[in-house]
Amino acid sequence: MRSTMERFEEYWSGGDPVTMNRFLMKTITPMITIVTSYVLFVTWIGPAIMKNRKPIQMRKLIIVYNFGLVAFYLYFLLRIFDLGYQLLVVRYIELLDTVFLVLSKKFNMITPLHVFHHSIVPVFGWFGFRSESSGYLAVFMAVNCVVHIVMYTYYAIAALGPKYQKYIWWKKYLTSLQILQFFVMTLYTNIMFAIGCTTSKFTFMFCTFLSVLFFFLFINYYKRAYKSEDKQQVTEKNGVTANGIHETNGIHSKNVKQKNGVPAAYRNAMKKEK
């Protein structure tokens, strides 16, 4: 009689045979281990370690990290049909976003939505590559890459320091782009399923579920971040000061004074690093 694991492996063996035998893809163990370790570290272990320690100054590393991701996503768009697996590997690297926040003791920026968003992508990627043999998800990844290029450009500029904050006035439009992404991808995946381009019903349902879920989560985020800002905005030389939410990737904190999308506490911390 076959074991449960053997039946599981047989079920998730409908993807590309080359990709399925690559690093992190042969079994589910590495993915589960990395994602579980990430969640435990950013929600419990990391905060406990840093509780009585000074924040680690990581601005230069974060700048290099963000611009590095921008460069990768640009490169990926040029070779989208060759680098799907490499994109999945980078999504593991992106877990460092939250690790940096923990080590910098910016705990108010780590929310359930942020952790969930980072955690679920490697899970979806593993199941998607293991079960889907068609190439329709390449369009999904291309659209996501465009959004990530814009998003990490924003993060990189924000990390450069206070004198660059006047260049990131477009945070609101980045959030709108993310919402549009999830709407387009929900529509796209359902059209592909309807015309028979998908081979895995599970991947289709998982992809649709996540797209719809994040569409509404980011709409809710948009309302919380910008509606009150529209009512209370005060025109200044370099932009707007308001109470709202800092980041655009599910990282947010309530009632934080901002200027050009950057909380005052964060700006002060960057000043100290200079």
Which among 114, 117, 118, 246 is annotated as catalytic? Answer: 117
Contact 247, 222 (CB under 8 A): no
Q: Please provide the DSSP assignment of 201-228 as one string.
A: HHHHHHHHHHHHHHHHHHHHHHIIIIIH
117 belongs to the catalytic site? yes
Contact 186, 205 (CB under 8 A): no
**C-alpha distances out from residue 210 to 15, 76, 114, 156, Å:** 20, 23, 14, 27
Contact 244, 264 (CB under 8 A): no
Candidates 157, 179, 165; CA nearest to 241 is 165
Which residues are marked as active site? 117
